[in-house]
Structure 1
Amino acid sequence: MADQERLSQGLTGVGKRLTEVNESLGEASEGAAEASARLICAGGELLEGGDGVRFEIEWNGEAAPAFAIRHRGRVYGYLNRCAHIAMELDWKLGKFFDADAEYLICSTHGALYAPESGACRGGPCRGAALVGLNVFEADGKVYMRRT
């Protein structure tokens, strides 16, 4: 019986140590991800279906407008450029969603885009899509990965 108890305690100790190692690796990988990414905003600035946060990125060697939004609990980022005609989408700074907060809408021609993919869902953008950006949320902040 004593051998079984020692074995059980040993396995419990190994399990605890594995948990500590996994937590440590998780923290290290989050830190590495943040180090190779650009801070966009605090996560709390992006409300579900609310205003987006505008920012600039370098795109094809030039400064280009971009934005981040929250939809169904996830953050997404896109170039702020309609796929139909290269114009900014928001009709008022940060206003990217339609009235029902279901689609992203181009204020100029009414093109509708799926927030989770940027794919055209209606209007003159047929078959086109917004240019997606690699954004993610970690520790209450929204980042864009550098490519």
Structure 2
Amino acid sequence: MKLLCTAAELPDNSSRGFDIEGRKLLAVRRAGQAYVYLNRCPHRGVPLEWQPGQFLDASASLIQCATHGALFLIESGECVAGPCAGQFLTALDSREDDQGIWANL
């Protein structure tokens, strides 16, 4: 497991991107729970963010792909709108402890 960031560095309703050992990841926190996915849209295989660390739509309730506007549920990574509807972001095993948020690469 690799440490991504401290809990304070990922407040509720926010997202962050990471590049660890050549793998692009994103973490999102919602209702106190952190979710970690590969930063790769299932539609074209491109990174999702439109600006560094910006993965959420305007309401901060969905993960949004900047390339074609696909929208993904934060809790499951399921695409609910856009060209890859029904497909999923790749979730990574993760956990959170006193040190911060960890992901299994």
TM-score by structure 1 length? 0.67
Gaps of 5+ in 2: none
Alignment of 1:134 with 2:93, yes or no, is yes
Gaps of 5+ in 1: 1-36, 58-62
Q: Is the Cα–Cα contact under 8 Å of residues 119 and 129 in structure 1 kept in the other structure?
A: yes
Sequence identity (%): 37
Task: Name the counterpart of 1:39.
Answer: 3
Shift of 1:103: 0.3
Which of 43, 60, 63 pairs up with 1:104? 63
Which one has a bigger Cα radius of gyration? 1
Alignment of 1:51 with 2:15, yes or no, is yes
Q: Is the Cα–Cα contact under 8 Å of residues 50 and 66 in structure 2 kept in the other structure?
A: yes
Alpha-carbon RMSD:
1.3
Q: Displaced runs of 4+ in structure 1, greater than 6 A? A: none
Task: Name the counterpart of 1:79.
Answer: 38
TM-score by structure 2 length? 0.92
Aligned length: 105
Q: Is the Cα–Cα contact under 8 Å of residues 45 and 53 in structure 1 kept in the other structure?
A: no
Structure with the bigger percentage of helix: 1
Structure showing greater relative contact order (alpha-carbon pairs closer than 8 Å, 6 or more residues apart)? 2
Partner-residue secondary structure (3-state), 2:14 = coil
